[in-house]
């Protein structure tokens, strides 16, 4: 159902002015000038935070970041797989091993049982997921704007500039 690979380079390859996203195990995304992938991918951090991201297009990945692709989009939509893995990451965190920096092993991903409803149900779910993501993005932007406005008003009020 899925093809699972890892990136091949170290995090120090990042370039702040890079042209492409560079996915590492960090929550944030870095930049890089050389893409190694051009696909629809679910990216799972293999150590540390164990976060899950989705990306379509050219990018590169850190050596401990799993790059997961659907082998058959007629039966398994990449965004549907992303939604499953975003939920399954809680289980991965329970399975993670190691001392200070926890990590997962490839079998934790390859042996996951992914429920796959009919493709029509997956499409419907993905459409709703995208709609919810747009709303969340809009709310986050509004929240940021509200916080900036409040900080500005607060600053002006305490300087006596209102």
**Residue range 94-105: average pLDDT?**
92
User: For the structural domain made of 2-116, what CATH number should be given?
Assistant: 3.90.220.20
**Residue range 85-93: average pLDDT?**
94
**Residue range 8-37: average pLDDT?**
95
Q: pLDDT category, 75, cuts 50, 70, 90?
A: very high
pLDDT score of 101 more than 80: yes
CB-side neighbour CA atoms (13 Å) of 82: 20
With a pLDDT cut of 90, the percent of the chain lying above it is 77
CB-side neighbour CA atoms (13 Å) of 68: 27
- In sequence order, the β-bridge partners of residue 39 are 57
Contact predicate 65/24, CB 8 Å: yes
Q: What pLDDT sits at residue 16?
A: 95
pTM, 2 dp: 0.82
Distance CA 16, CA 39 (A): 22
**Where are the domains positioned within the chain?**
2-116, 117-162
Q: pLDDT category, 127, cuts 50, 70, 90?
A: very high
Q: What pLDDT sits at residue 102?
A: 92
Contact predicate 69/55, CB 8 Å: no
Q: What pLDDT sits at residue 141?
A: 84
Average pLDDT, the chain: 93
Q: pLDDT category, 151, cuts 50, 70, 90?
A: confident
């Amino acid at each position: 159902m899925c093809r699972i690979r890892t990136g091949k380079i170290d995090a120090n390859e990042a370039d702040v002015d890079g042209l492409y996203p560079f996915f590492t195990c960090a929550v944030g995304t870095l930049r890089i000038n050389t893409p190694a992938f051009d696909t629809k991918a679910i990216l799972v951090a293999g150590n540390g935070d164990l976060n899950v991201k989705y990306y379509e297009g050219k990018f590169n990945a850190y050596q401990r970041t799993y790059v997961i692709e659907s082998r058959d989009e007629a039966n398994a939509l990449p965004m549907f797989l992303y939604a499953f893995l975003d939920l399954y990451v809680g289980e991965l965190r329970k399975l993670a091993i190691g001392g200070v920096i926890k990590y997962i092993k490839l079998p934790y991903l390859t042996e996951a049982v992914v429920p796959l409803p009919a493709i029509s149900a997956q499409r419907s779910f993905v459409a709703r997921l995208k709609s919810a993501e747009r709303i969340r993005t809009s709310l986050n932007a509004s929240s940021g704007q509200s916080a900036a406005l409040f900080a500005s008003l607060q600053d002006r009020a305490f300087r006596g500039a209102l």
